[in-house]
């Protein structure tokens, strides 16, 4: 019983990370499927609106889950080291995708999914990290 009580916050945080990961994977599968890509080519304006709704919903939900998991599990610190690594990967994968797209080269399907995953994860963690820094500053000022 003591083991569960002592590690309960960590279990909550791991469950939060897993849930966020599953939601992100579902979004990636939806927006990289052939049907959606064909639809995006046919009606880009509607696709942008549809994607925007899902994008902002995921960011709000993902940040909420990550922040709540971090606070409930009483984790200290923020995600700055992870963000340094993710920013490097984001820049690389985004530039690679853009260069391949504009060169007319065949873009590997995994590259689009990977870029999508890295960008959304980076945005979620950056926002959560900033909120955690603000929370720490607010607690220190009291």
The confidence score (pLDDT) of residue 47 equals 86
* Per-residue tens of pLDDT for the chain, all 142 residues: 666 666 666 677 677 778 888 888 888 888 778 788 787 888 888 888 988 998 898 899 888 888 888 887 777 777 788 888 989 999 999 999 899 988 988 888 788 888 888 888 889 889 988 998 888 888 888 7
The confidence score (pLDDT) of residue 32 equals 77
The confidence score (pLDDT) of residue 89 equals 92
CB atoms within 10 A of CB 100: 15
Question: Residue 33: how many CA atoms within 13 Å on its side-chain side?
Answer: 9
The confidence score (pLDDT) of residue 88 equals 93
Contact in structure between 118 and 86 (CB atoms under 8 Å):
yes
pTM of the model: 0.76
Handedness of CA 28, 89, 18, 132 (dihedral sign): negative
Among left, alpha and beta (phi > 0; psi -120 to 50; other), residue 98 is alpha
Handedness of CA 138, 61, 113, 41 (dihedral sign): negative
The confidence score (pLDDT) of residue 17 equals 76
């Amino acid at each position: 019983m003591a083991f569960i009580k002592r590690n309960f916050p960590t279990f909550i945080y791991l469950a939060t990370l897993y849930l966020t990961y599953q939601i992100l994977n579902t979004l990636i599968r939806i927006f990289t499927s052939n049907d959606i890509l064909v639809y995006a080519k046919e009606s880009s304006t509607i696709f942008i609106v549809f994607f925007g709704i899902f994008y902002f919903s995921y960011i709000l939900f993902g940040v909420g889950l990550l922040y709540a998991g971090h606070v409930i599990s009483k984790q200290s610190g923020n995600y700055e080291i992870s963000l340094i690594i993710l920013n490097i990967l984001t820049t690389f994968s985004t530039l690679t995708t853009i260069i391949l797209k504009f060169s007319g080269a065949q873009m590997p399907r995994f590259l689009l999914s990977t870029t999508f995953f890295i960008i959304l994860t980076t945005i979620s963690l950056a926002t959560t990290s900033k909120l955690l820094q603000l929370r720490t500053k607010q607690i220190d000022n009291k």
